[in-house]
């Protein structure tokens, strides 16, 4: 069966070919399955997976091993019941042999996440029999996401479009702001939206609108730039998303307690300029906003910013339009807009009032029918560049009309060509004002000439008045004018200046009686101009009718010249024709008269000022004038003399002057407080001159006010009271020293009485006790003590200037030379004594013992001031003391020629406090028991007793100098030989005469009687003057001597002596006293012929003096 074999072989070959082809197709299918990006799944007839390619693994997440043999629907549709039902429905269709068209479905991955797929399936039929199913899945997740995003964006764009349509159609700003926040809430789907706008100053954000706003923070709240979300967005210009605002550390403090979670802030920008911020917030959701949300809000915010700017612009335009319309209607000038045919398009109220029509009735009316045509013809249809200005009268008004082209935007399109704007200004008042200005210019010209003439004529009043008369006459076009001044008592008026043309008679020097003159009385009483139309017949001019006729005056204008409210004269303007002087002419002439009055007042004031200036310049008181800024603008010569150093440079700050003058700042501020309060200040202070000389002034600072009561400057007057203060100090010191002297003298007097008793008793006791007696030592001690007490009382008497001395004309140099030997022993070796004695020293008159006492006291004090040694200088010199130098000394002395004795040491010196008390008795700086404190008081008393003066200069650490002035005398020095010292003896001198003793101290009286009786005298005693007179009258024998105390009660010793001398002319008188403060020895010097016995008394002194008298 070759054919069968051939057929079989052929068949086998075909089968092999077929197998190869099938294998190739299978390999190709497998390759396609493995390389295909889509998921391709094969199922058998039971819907079990038979193939699962790589695309299926990638799409669904199951491996082929996990998927093969499993039910496809259970694998990728089971997680969702609805999806599983839809999948099984498709399975039934395909298993029934129906192919599955392309369909978009959702299936699930292995991890449960859904995935969008595009699936298609087809049954596998072999000869009509279902072998299986092939299903292809394409992943369309990204496409679906893009489609969803596109749809969302389309939806957003639609919503944004609707939103923008709404907000851009809102011209009202407030409505727009509310629409923005409402639309933003709808657009984004958030709970709360707020809108902030940048304040005009750019320094903060103001909350202007809110949607679903809880009201925690009121509208109008202002945030600083950088504060909260809105503040940060405004400052950066970039959006800001906050995941949880409630817990955000950057939230604004004003929103504490405000519930908001995720929050987005986006700037409202116009170009690069931020004008505000919009914020959207959720009250529950937390997290950042998505980029699409941010983008949408940013897009919305950009459009909202433009809408806000437009609304603002619209508001400004509307406001401008309202302002323009209000301004147009409020314009005082009449304004009308006309078309090219001069028909009215629009007019303001001023134009309606001008033409007396209602505004609505003016529209389309012919302009010229209402106002009238101008003198110059108008163009029938003015061109676009035509303009003109003209003046015409309308209803008694002068109007200036200005025509300018009407801008095309101002009217309808049909009327844009050839229209005009006509501005009609009522210049009636201006024309009148211009006329008034011209009139005033004429007046000013006249017044200026008068003023110029016044300035040029200086103080020559005749020249001033002559110029005024000329200018008045020329201004009023009259031939003559005159000026007259009243005399002091106003009895007559004299013409002192005039102007006249050559043909007019003169009146200069004419005397016009003022008493009983009605015209003068009128001027004096009313002080206003007087117009007399008929000067030759008017009764007011009756006393001068002849003068009026002589001058040819027909009409007269009289103007009073008033100075300080009083009429001092008049100006007269004479018209030789009848002339009714107008009110304007009278007013002008009156102003000229006022100017002249001012010149007269100024001249008088300058005269007063010259007198006042001369008085101030020559015044003894210093005067300063200081302005309100503290600048010294004037000082008189007395001030310059007071402070010394020449002229004060002006202007000068008063504060600088005060510092230079070293015035106490507290006093300066006290003065300032007073005068700034408008009160005068008076007081006394001490200053120093430029050469450091102190002076004292009584000062008065007075504010000076102007007529408005304002302080314009201050006047300071200073009266130099240095001499008065010095005299007061000297007077007080003299009083003090006099009181101390009286006290010291009184003490000395009483002491002398006591010492007299002690010494006389002791002398009597000595006569009864011998030296070998135990009591002799006590008696001698009593005698020594009483002698020391006597020296002390003698020092007190010297201080009180009650010591009786016998002054001599001395050569002071010789006395000091005689003392120098003793002084060298006193001062010791550590102190050097230097004598600087003027060779031609003038003589002085003083007791030698007082010179000794004076020099010794000063030298001892100087040595005490130099415990470590030094130089002691004694100087004498002739000096001439002037008044100023005399004031430097403590006593009040007259200027003249003196001898100056100076004792200078180089010791420790004295301070001011010690210097004030050194001449007071018992004042001492020495240790207790080392000084009596009577040395310098004794010096003071000696100097004063001899008509001299003393001055002390001392500084601590620089030594001291005592300057003593003694008056020079013209007599030559006395050449008395020194008296031999009486031998010290207690031998009493005896006698037998009768002595009447008058003494008010019983002890002294008793002892004196006892001593004299013991010496053989007959003694009568009386306790006072009257008793002594009675004794004298009753005693028949001769009384040889009256021994009387000087000071006694009821009658002095001198009065007693005078009375007794009338009874007994041969009576001798011996006075005794503890001091000599009575009329006999009141000068401290014993007059010649007077016998005087000083207390304390001794037996020797008493008996010898009684015997010698």
Q: Are 51 and 33 in contact, with CB atoms under 8 Å apart?
A: yes
Q: What pLDDT, on the 0 to 100 scale, is given for residue 980?
A: 38
pLDDT(277) > 80: yes
pLDDT(1078) > 50: no
Q: What pLDDT, on the 0 to 100 scale, is given for residue 168?
A: 61
Q: What pLDDT, on the 0 to 100 scale, is given for residue 649?
A: 55
Which is higher by pLDDT, 331 or 60?
Answer: 60
Q: What is the mean pLDDT of the chain?
A: 78
Query: Is residue 615 very low, low, confident or very high in pLDDT (cuts 50, 70, 90)?
Result: confident
Those residues with Cβ within 8 angstroms of residue 458's Cβ, 6 or more apart along the chain or in another chain: none
Q: What pLDDT, on the 0 to 100 scale, is given for residue 457?
A: 47
Residue spans of beta strands (DSSP E) within 465-602: 480-486, 492-500, 511-513, 530-532, 555-563, 566-575
Residue range 1-28: mean pLDDT, rounded: 58
Which is higher by pLDDT, 1006 or 801?
Answer: 1006
Bond prior to 132 in cis (omega within 30° of 0): no
Burial 979-1011 (b: 16+ CB within 10 A, else e): eeeeeeeeebeebebebbbbbbbeebbbbbbeb
> For residues 540 and 531, what is the distance between their CA atoms, to the nearest angstrom?
10
Residue range 830-838: mean pLDDT, rounded: 89
Query: Is residue 119 very low, low, confident or very high in pLDDT (cuts 50, 70, 90)?
Result: confident
281-to-195, 613, 1087 alpha-carbon distances in Å: 12, 89, 129
> For residues 95 and 132, what is the distance between their CA atoms, to the nearest angstrom?
8
pLDDT (tens digit per residue) in 183-209: 777 777 777 888 899 988 888 898 888
Residue range 942-953: mean pLDDT, rounded: 87
What proportion of the chain, given as a percentage, has pLDDT over 70?
81
Which residues are paired to 896 by β-bridges?
881
Residue range 492-501: mean pLDDT, rounded: 88
Query: Is residue 447 very low, low, confident or very high in pLDDT (cuts 50, 70, 90)?
Result: low
Query: Is residue 1042 very low, low, confident or very high in pLDDT (cuts 50, 70, 90)?
Result: very high
pLDDT(875) > 90: yes
Query: Is residue 1084 very low, low, confident or very high in pLDDT (cuts 50, 70, 90)?
Result: very low
Residue range 390-399: mean pLDDT, rounded: 78
Q: What pLDDT, on the 0 to 100 scale, is given for residue 933?
A: 62
Query: Is residue 414 very low, low, confident or very high in pLDDT (cuts 50, 70, 90)?
Result: very low
pLDDT(569) > 80: yes
pLDDT (tens digit per residue) in 974-1014: 655 443 333 334 456 788 899 999 988 888 888 888 888 98
Q: What pLDDT, on the 0 to 100 scale, is given for residue 796?
A: 60
Q: What pLDDT, on the 0 to 100 scale, is given for residue 372?
A: 79
Query: Is residue 36 very low, low, confident or very high in pLDDT (cuts 50, 70, 90)?
Result: low
> For residues 573 and 777, what is the distance between their CA atoms, to the nearest angstrom?
123
Q: What pLDDT, on the 0 to 100 scale, is given for residue 1088?
A: 47
Query: Is residue 1077 very low, low, confident or very high in pLDDT (cuts 50, 70, 90)?
Result: very low
Which is higher by pLDDT, 689 or 703?
Answer: 703
Those residues with Cβ within 8 angstroms of residue 697's Cβ, 6 or more apart along the chain or in another chain: 622, 642, 684, 685, 686, 687, 718, 719, 720, 721, 722
Mean pLDDT is highest, among 146-155, 192-201, 603-612, 701-710, for: 192-201
Q: What pLDDT, on the 0 to 100 scale, is given for residue 877?
A: 94
Q: What pLDDT, on the 0 to 100 scale, is given for residue 967?
A: 93
pLDDT(787) > 80: no
pLDDT(560) > 70: yes
Mean pLDDT is highest, among 109-113, 213-217, 764-768, for: 109-113
Query: Is residue 28 very low, low, confident or very high in pLDDT (cuts 50, 70, 90)?
Result: low
pLDDT(878) > 90: yes
Q: What pLDDT, on the 0 to 100 scale, is given for residue 146?
A: 66
Element (H, E) at 826: helix 812-827
**DSSP letter for each residue of 687-720:** EE-TTS-EEEEEEEEEEEE-TTS-EEEEEEEEEE
pLDDT(731) > 80: no
Residue range 145-151: mean pLDDT, rounded: 65
Residue range 1033-1039: mean pLDDT, rounded: 89
Query: Is residue 304 very low, low, confident or very high in pLDDT (cuts 50, 70, 90)?
Result: confident
> Could you give all domains of the chain from N- to C-terminal order, each with its CATH number?
36-139 (3.30.450.20), 146-312 (3.30.450.40), 328-426 (3.30.450.20), 436-609 (3.30.450.40), 619-720 (3.30.450.20), 805-967 (3.30.565.10), 994-1108 (3.40.50.2300)
Q: Are 263 and 279 in contact, with CB atoms under 8 Å apart?
A: yes
Mean pLDDT is highest, among 3-7, 688-692, 946-950, 981-985, for: 946-950
> For residues 643 and 742, what is the distance between their CA atoms, to the nearest angstrom?
41
- DSSP 3-state of 919: coil
pLDDT(56) > 60: yes
């Amino acid at each position: 069966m070759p054919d069968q074999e051939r057929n079989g072989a052929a068949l086998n070959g075909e089968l092999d070919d077929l197998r190869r082809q099938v294998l190739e197709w299978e390999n190709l299918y497998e390759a396609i399955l493995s390389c295909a990006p889509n998921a391709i799944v094969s199922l058998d007839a039971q819907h079990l997976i038979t193939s699962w390619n790589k695309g299926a693994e990638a799409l669904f997440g199951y491996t082929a091993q996990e998927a093969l043999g499993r039910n496809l629907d259970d694998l990728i549709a089971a997680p969702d019941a609805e999806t599983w039902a839809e999948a099984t429905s498709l399975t039934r269709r395909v298993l029934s042999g129906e192919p599955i068209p392309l369909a978009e479905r959702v299936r699930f991955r292995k991890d449960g996440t859904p995935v969008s797929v595009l699936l298609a399936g087809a049954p596998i039929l072999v000869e009509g029999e279902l072998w299986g199913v092939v299903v292809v899945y394409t992943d369309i997740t990204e496409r679906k996401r893009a489609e969803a995003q596109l749809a969302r964006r389309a939806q957003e764009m639609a919503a944004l479009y609707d939103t923008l349509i709404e907000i851009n159609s809102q011209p009202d700003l407030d409505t727009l702001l509310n629409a923005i926040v409402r639309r933003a809430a709808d657009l984004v789907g958030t709970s709360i939206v707020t809108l902030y706008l940048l304040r005009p100053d750019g320094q903060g954000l103001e909350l202007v609108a809110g949607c679903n706003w809880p009201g925690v923070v009121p509208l109008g709240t202002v945030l600083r730039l950088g504060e909260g979300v809105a503040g940060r967005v405004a400052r950066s210009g970039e959006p800001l998303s906050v995941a949880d605002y409630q817990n955000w550390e950057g939230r604004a403090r004003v929103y504490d307690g405000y519930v908001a979670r995720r929050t987005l802030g986006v700037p409202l920008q116009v170009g690069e300029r931020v004008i505000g911020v919009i914020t959207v917030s959720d009250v529950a959701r937390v997290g950042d906003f998505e980029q699409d949300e941010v983008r949408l809000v940013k897009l919305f915010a950009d459009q909202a910013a433009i809408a806000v700017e437009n609304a603002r612009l619209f508001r400004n335009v509307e406001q401008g339009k309202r302002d323009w319309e209000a301004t147009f209607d409020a314009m005082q000038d009449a304004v009308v807009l006309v078309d090219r045919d001069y028909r009215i398009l629009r007019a303001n109220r001023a134009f309606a009032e001008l033409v007396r029509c209602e505004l609505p009735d003016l529209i389309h009316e012919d302009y010229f029918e209402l106002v009238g045509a101008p003198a110059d013809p108008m163009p029938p249809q003015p061109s676009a560049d035509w303009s003109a200005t003209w003046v015409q009268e309308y209803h008694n008004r002068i109007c200036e009309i200005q025509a300018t082209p009407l801008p095309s935007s101002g009217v309808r399109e049909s009327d844009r060509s050839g229209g005009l704007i006509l501005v009609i200004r009522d210049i009636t008042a201006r024309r009148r004002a211009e006329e008034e200005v011209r009139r005033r210019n004429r007046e000013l010209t006249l017044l200026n000439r008068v003023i110029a003439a016044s300035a040029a004529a200086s103080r020559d009043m005749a020249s001033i008045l002559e110029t005024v008369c000329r200018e008045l006459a020329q201004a009023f076009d009259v031939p003559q004018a005159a000026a007259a001044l009243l005399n002091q008592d106003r009895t007559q008026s004299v013409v002192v200046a005039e102007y006249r043309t050559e043909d007019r008679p003169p009146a200069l020097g004419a005397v016009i009686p003022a008493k009983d003159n009605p015209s003068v009385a009128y001027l004096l009483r009313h002080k206003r101009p007087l117009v007399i139309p008929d000067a030759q017949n008017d009764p007011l001019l009756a006393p001068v009718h002849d003068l009026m006729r002589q001058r040819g005056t027909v009409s007269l204008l009289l103007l009073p010249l008033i100075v300080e409210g009083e009429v001092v004269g008049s100006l007269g303007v004479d018209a030789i024709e009848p002339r009714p002087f107008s009110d304007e002419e009278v007013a002008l002439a009156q102003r000229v008269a006022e100017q002249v009055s001012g010149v007269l007042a100024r001249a008088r004031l300058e005269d007063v000022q010259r007198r006042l200036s001369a008085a101030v310049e020559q015044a003894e008181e210093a005067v300063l004038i200081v302005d309100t800024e503290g600048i010294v603008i004037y000082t008189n010569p007395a001030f310059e003399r007071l402070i010394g150093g020449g002229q004060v440079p002006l202007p000068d700050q008063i504060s600088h002057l005060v510092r230079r003058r070293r015035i106490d700042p507290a006093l300066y501020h006290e003065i300032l407080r007073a005068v700034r309060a408008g009160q005068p200040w008076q007081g006394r202070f001490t200053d120093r001159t430029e050469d450091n000389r102190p002076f004292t002034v009584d000062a008065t600072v007075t504010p000076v006010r102007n007529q408005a009561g304002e302080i314009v400057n201050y006047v300071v007057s200073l009266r130099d009271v240095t001499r008065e203060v010095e005299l007061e100090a000297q007077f007080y010191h003299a009083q003090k020293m006099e009181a101390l002297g009286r006290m010291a003298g009184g003490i000395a007097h009483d002491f002398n009485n006591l010492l007299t008793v002690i010494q006389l008793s002791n002398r009597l006791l000595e006569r009864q006790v011998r030296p070998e007696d135990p009591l002799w030592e006590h008696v001698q001690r009593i005698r020594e003590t009483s002698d020391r007490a006597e020296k002390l009382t003698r020092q007190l008497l010297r201080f009180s200037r009650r010591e009786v001395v016998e002054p001599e004309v001395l050569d002071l140099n010789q006395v000091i030379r005689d003392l120098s030997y003793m002084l060298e022993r006193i001062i010791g070796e550590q102190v050097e004594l230097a004598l600087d004695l003027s060779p031609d020293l003038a003589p002085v008159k003083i007791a030698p013992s007082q010179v000794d006492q004076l020099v010794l006291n000063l030298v001892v004090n100087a040595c005490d001031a130099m415990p470590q040694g030094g130089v002691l200088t004694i100087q004498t010199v002739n000096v001439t003391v002037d008044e100023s130098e005399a004031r430097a000394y403590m006593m009040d002395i007259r200027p003249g020629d003196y001898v100056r004795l100076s004792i200078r040491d180089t010791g420790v010196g004295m301070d001011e406090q010690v210097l004030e008390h050194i001449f007071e008795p018992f004042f001492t700086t020495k240790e207790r028991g080392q000084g009596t404190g009577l040395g310098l008081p004794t010096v003071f008393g000696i100097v004063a007793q001899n008509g001299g003066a003393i001055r002390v200069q001392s500084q601590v650490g620089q030594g001291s100098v005592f300057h003593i002035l003694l008056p020079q005398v013209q007599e030559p020095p006395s050449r008395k030989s020194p008296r031999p010292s009486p031998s010290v003896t207690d031998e009493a001198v005896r006698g037998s005469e009768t002595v009447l003793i008058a003494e008010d101290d019983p002890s002294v009286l008793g002892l004196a009687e006892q001593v004299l009786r013991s010496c053989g005298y007959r003694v009568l005693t009386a306790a006072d003057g009257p008793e002594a007179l009675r004794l004298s009258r009753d005693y028949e024998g001769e009384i040889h001597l009256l021994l009387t105390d000087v000071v006694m009660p009821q009658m002095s010793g001198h009065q007693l002596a005078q009375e007794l001398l009338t009874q007994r002319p041969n009576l001798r008188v011996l006075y005794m006293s503890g001091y000599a403060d009575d009329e006999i020895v009141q000068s401290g010097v014993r007059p010649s012929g007077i016998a005087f016995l000083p207390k304390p008394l001794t037996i020797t002194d008493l008996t010898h003096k009684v015997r010698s008298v």
